[in-house]
Amino acid sequence: MTIVYKTRTQLVVETLREKILSGEIKAGQPLRQAALADELNVSRIPVREALLQLEAEGLVAFEPHKGATATELSASQVDELFELRAMLESELLASSLPNISDEMLDQASDILARLNKALGKENAANTWSELNSSYHNCLYSGATKPQTQDLVNTLNKNADRYIRMHLLWAGGISKAESEHNDLLRYCKAKDVKNAVAMLKQHILGSRDEIKAFLQEREIANAD
- Summarised one tens digit per residue, pLDDT across range 176-193 is 888 999 999 999 999 999
What average pLDDT score do residues 160-171 get?
Answer: 75
Tell me what the pLDDT averaged over the chain comes to. 86
Q: How confident is the model at residue 114 (pLDDT cuts 50, 70, 90)?
A: very high
> What's the confidence (pLDDT) of residue 200?
97
Q: Which amino acid is it at 222?
A: A
Pick 21 or 146 by higher pLDDT.
146
Which residue ranges make up each domain of the chain? 2-70, 75-222
What average pLDDT score do residues 139-152 get?
Answer: 94
17-54 residue pLDDT tens: 878 876 788 888 889 999 999 999 999 999 999 999 88
59-73 residue pLDDT tens: 888 888 778 998 887
pTM for this structure?
0.75
Cβ atoms 90, 199 nearer than 8 A: yes
Q: Which of 50-59, 88-97, 166-175 has the highest mean pLDDT?
A: 88-97
When mean pLDDT is compared across 90-94, 107-111, 114-118, 215-219, the lowest value belongs to 215-219
Distance CA 54, CA 52 (A): 5
Q: How many CB atoms lie within 10 A of CB 38?
A: 12
Distance CA 171, CA 168 (A): 7
Q: Give yes or no for residue 108 having a pLDDT over 70.
A: yes
Q: How many CB atoms lie within 10 A of CB 134?
A: 16
Cβ atoms 51, 40 nearer than 8 A: no
Beta-carbon contacts of residue 10 (< 8 Å; ≥ 6 apart): 50, 123
Distance CA 217, CA 213 (A): 6
Which sign does the torsion angle of CA 142, 145, 151, 154 carry? positive
Could you say which of 1.10.10.10, 3.40.50.880, 3.30.300.130, 2.20.28.10 is the CATH number of the domain covering 2-70? 1.10.10.10
Helix or strand holding residue 68 (H, E): strand 67-70
Give the Å distances, CA to CA, from 108 to 54, 80, 139. 28, 27, 7
Give the Å distances, CA to CA, from 167 to 42, 73, 104, 179. 28, 15, 25, 13
> What's the confidence (pLDDT) of residue 2?
40
Q: Give yes or no for residue 90 having a pLDDT over 90.
A: yes
> What's the confidence (pLDDT) of residue 83?
96
* Cα-Cα end-to-end distance for the chain: 43
> What's the confidence (pLDDT) of residue 106?
96
Distance CA 210, CA 75 (A): 8
Distance CA 121, CA 175 (A): 16
Cα angle value 203/206/210 (rounded, 5°): 140
Cβ atoms 135, 47 nearer than 8 A: no
Q: Does domain 75-222 have CATH number 1.10.260.40?
A: no
